[in-house]
Amino acid sequence: MKIRLVVLEYPLEERIADPSERTIVSPRAIRRIALVTPPYHSGVVETAGSWPNAAFVYLAGSLRAAGYEPVIYDAMTADHDAEAIARELERIRPDMVVTTAYTSSYPKAVELLRLAKHTVPGVVTGIGGVHAHFMYEEVLSRDGDAVDIVFRGEGERTLPETVACLNAGDRLDKVPGLAFRDESGSVVATATRPFIADLDSLPTAWDLVDWSLYRFYPMPDTKLAIISTSRGCDQACTFCSQQAFWCRTWRSRSAENVVQEMEMLRDRFGVGVVMFSDETPTLDPVRWRRLLDLLIERDVGLHLLMETRVDDILRDRELMPLYHQAGVRHIYVGVERTDQATLDLFKKNTEVSMGKEAIDLINSHDMISETSLVLGLPDDTHETIETTFQLAQHYDPDLAFFLTIAPWPYADMYKDLEPYIVSHDYEDYNLVAPVVKPKAMTTDELMKEIIGCYRRFYMGKLKRIPTMSPFKREYFLVTMKLLMENSYLRQYMGGLGEMPAEVAALFSARKP
């Protein structure tokens, strides 16, 4: 069982082109690796701003440390179409193209790799990310013409080892953390690679990022970076992929290492806002307190956006002033539902009352509170959605997103949702389009209910803008403008309704 790299001395036009031949063919040894973000737009998360692909920064750092020449190309944020991507790939002339995907971005990721195969003869292609990690057999069986290698799990060790293996003409089945098709066409998955124990040891390549692309929309003159302070999830949420991907483990970087990276981003690249990408940066209370203390002691001065669990917020109720002093300005907590039965079904290990209390704590310290509520479950009705909406108003977050359930094919809940799935187009699995049809509703009725939740929630918020603190007022005005004009939701929402006169005046008074 072997995939080998064949270094050719004859012209590209004479290369082996039979798609059934499973030998990876390249006109040269692999040196330049393009890490390309697929041009997929999900819309909801893009209302906050645009940020680099942090995974590529760490992958590029590891590739460069191993002696290779990585290139980071964000086709998504650059808003490039196929023609522009082809031109950029012709300019880069990579020996290997690697992309990453979650479920809804997977079709665009495969289109990207197929385009790379067409544009750069002999290029080797690979894909990583949550979707490919779990669905590697489907990926290689259905899209093997575009995908040579699937990278499973963390890639910082796997990718450089794979390139070295190919360049040496060695057997890929010796490299842990891969999946590929052998010469008979069978899908081969190699041994699982252990997680990286020392996250502080990973090199980065922030200098390869095109910083002109990235900004935080509520502070449009400020560059936005995203970093991971930890990896993993020790929870058991049935609708989520993270606990399965990380095998319910959690590892963290040291507080000192995180702060050093933030200071470097501030001083070298002019970053003013940092988003923490990890689901629970607060899991270890001792490390989290140390991180807050260091940010305050060193006067790092960056605005921080983060996500965490409601129970960690409640645990830290006495630390909320330190959150604010350290620069935390926006906290997302996953309430998901406002009925206890569904929270128990989701295995959230929280109580409904905890969500309200956590959001109140965030609000009381002049930080933006954000949450999401999951709708469109098989047992949802007009009445249950109305109840969820009323309780969402009672929770009173600054920002609420009413999301449709996405039946990730690798999540624990998939078998329960499978009989009600009405779309198998992965691009629809974006938390906006209805993919699951409730028993007592059509998908059109479900979408109408969700649109109504958005309209009523944000029209209520608009009327309260004049009473908000200056910080929240500006933040909310920018966010609302983006939701109404630029969000992926716009095609569903249309107008929010008649804007109150005093709010219209605030919009008119803002600088463009």
CATH of 5-12+25-189, one of 3.40.50.280, 3.40.225.10, 1.20.1730.10, 3.40.50.12780: 3.40.50.280
pLDDT for the residue 250 = 74
Q: For residue 123, is pLDDT > 90?
A: yes
Average pLDDT over residues 406-417: 85
Q: What is the average pLDDT score of the chain? A: 85
389-398, 430-439, 458-467: segment of lowest average pLDDT: 458-467
State the pLDDT confidence band at 464, using cuts at 50, 70 and 90. confident
Give mean pLDDT, residues 459-468. Answer: 84
Domain 211-450 coded CATH 3.40.50.280:
no
What mean pLDDT comes out for the span 122-141?
94
The DSSP secondary structure of 395-440, one letter per residue, reads: H--SEEEEEEP---TTSTTHHHHGGGB----GGG-SSSS--B--TT
Q: Report whether pLDDT(495) > 80.
A: no
pLDDT digit string, tens, across residues 296-345: 999 999 999 999 989 899 999 999 999 999 999 999 997 755 555 554 44
Backbone angles phi and psi of 274, in degrees to 5: -125, 130
Whose CA is closest to 24, among 152, 167, 222, 153? 167
Under the banding of pLDDT at 50, 70 and 90, the label for residue 467 is confident
15-40 pLDDT tens trace: 223 333 445 545 469 999 999 999 99
pLDDT at 130 over 50: yes
**Sequence ranges of the domains in the chain:** 5-12+25-189, 211-450
Per-residue pLDDT, 501? 59
Residue 4 confidence (pLDDT): 37
**Integer CA distances (angstroms), 357 to 352, 364, 458, 461, in order:** 9, 11, 21, 19
> Which pLDDT value is given to residue 503?
53
Task: Output phi, psi for 294, to 5 deg.
Answer: -65, -40
pTM, entire model: 0.87
Which pLDDT band holds residue 476 (cuts at 50, 70, 90)? confident
Q: How confident is the model at residue 291 (pLDDT cuts 50, 70, 90)?
A: very high
pLDDT of residue 424: 93
Residue 461 has pLDDT above 90, yes or no: no
pLDDT in tens, 367-382: 999 998 889 999 999 9
**What pLDDT does residue 157 have?**
94
Whole-angstrom distance, CA of residue 151 vs CA of residue 11: 30
Indicate if 211-450 has the same CATH topology as 5-12+25-189.
no
pLDDT digits (tens, 9 = 90+) for 188-210: 999 999 999 999 999 999 999 99
**Cβ proximity of 261 and 274 under 8 Å:** no
Joined tokens for residue 482: 């983006």
Mean predicted confidence (pLDDT) in 51-64: 96
Closest CA to 448 of 507, 389, 370: 389
pLDDT at residue number 466 = 82
pLDDT recorded at residue 237: 55
Kindly tell me if the per-residue pLDDT of 11 is higher than 60.
Answer: no
Please provide the DSSP assignment of 46-106 as one string.
GGTEE---HHHHHHHHHHHHTT-EEEEEETTTTT--HHHHHHHHHHH--SEEEEE--GGGH
Cα 193-194-199 angle, rounded to 5 deg? 120
- Look at residue 509 in the predicted model and tell me its pLDDT: 56
Compute the radius of gyration of the chain from its Cα atoms. Answer: 23
Confidence at residue 217, expressed as pLDDT on a 0 to 100 scale? 83
Which of 40-44, 63-67, 151-155 is least confident? 40-44
